[in-house]
């Protein structure tokens, strides 16, 4: 089955800096890679996703890159703001009938 590794587990940046979170996956059949943001006391919310036929996707200050050969994908947040502070999860899935498999999360702290 799929296994997703996520690094780092914690990340502290100054407001305005960039933040990068990296994930690797094991199943070469995986074809969908979403990123979720979880704020304190809330459920995870989808912030961006990418499918295997695309190498990069951008939405305002956030972007995701995918390297299928190396089986890794990354989340990039530019011009970080205090409200970006949260736990971020990467995930992967591919086979029919399988659920999303999540990484262990990255706690991002943005200080002003």
Partner 1 sequence: DTAVSQTPKYLVTQMGNDKSIKCEQNLGHDTMYWYKQDSKKFLKIMFSYNNKELIINETVPNRFSPKSPDKAHLNLHINSLELGDSAVYFCASSQDGGGPSGANVLTFGAGSRLTVL
Binding to partner 1 (CB under 8 A) within 61-80 occurs at: none
Contact call for residue 105 and partner 1 (CB under 8 A): yes
Nearer Cβ to partner 1 (43/112): 43
Asked whether position 89 contacts partner 1 by CB under 8 A, the answer is yes
Per CB under 8 A, the list member of 11, 13, 63, 100 interacting with partner 1 is 100
| By CB under 8 A, residue 46 contacts partner 1 | yes
Q: What one-character-per-residue DSSP string does the chain give?
A: ---EEEE-SEEEEETT--EEEEEEES-TT--EEEEEEE-TTS--EEEEEEETT-SEEEETTEEEEEETTTTEEEEEE-S--GGG-EEEEEEEB-STTPPPEE---EEEEEE-
Closest distance of CB 53 from partner 1, Å = 10
Which of 42, 69, 70, 112 binds partner 1 (CB under 8 A)? It is 42
Give the residue among 101, 98, 71 at the shortest CA–CA distance from 89.
101
45 binds partner 1 (CB under 8 A): yes
Which region among 14-22, 63-71, 73-81, 88-96 touches partner 1 (by CB under 8 A)?
A: 88-96
């Amino acid at each position: 089955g799929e296994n997703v590794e996520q690094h780092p587990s914690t990340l502290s940046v100054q407001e305005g800096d960039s933040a990068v979170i990296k994930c690797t996956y094991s199943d070469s059949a995986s074809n969908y890679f979403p990123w979720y943001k979880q704020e304190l006391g809330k459920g995870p919310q989808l912030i961006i996703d990418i499918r295997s036929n695309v190498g990069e996707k951008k939405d305002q200050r956030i972007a995701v890159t995918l390297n299928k050969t190396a089986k890794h994908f990354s989340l990039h947040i530019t011009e970080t703001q205090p409200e970006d502070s949260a736990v971020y999860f990467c995930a992967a899935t591919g086979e029919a009938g399988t659920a999303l498999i999540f990484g262990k999360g990255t706690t991002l702290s943005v200080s002003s």
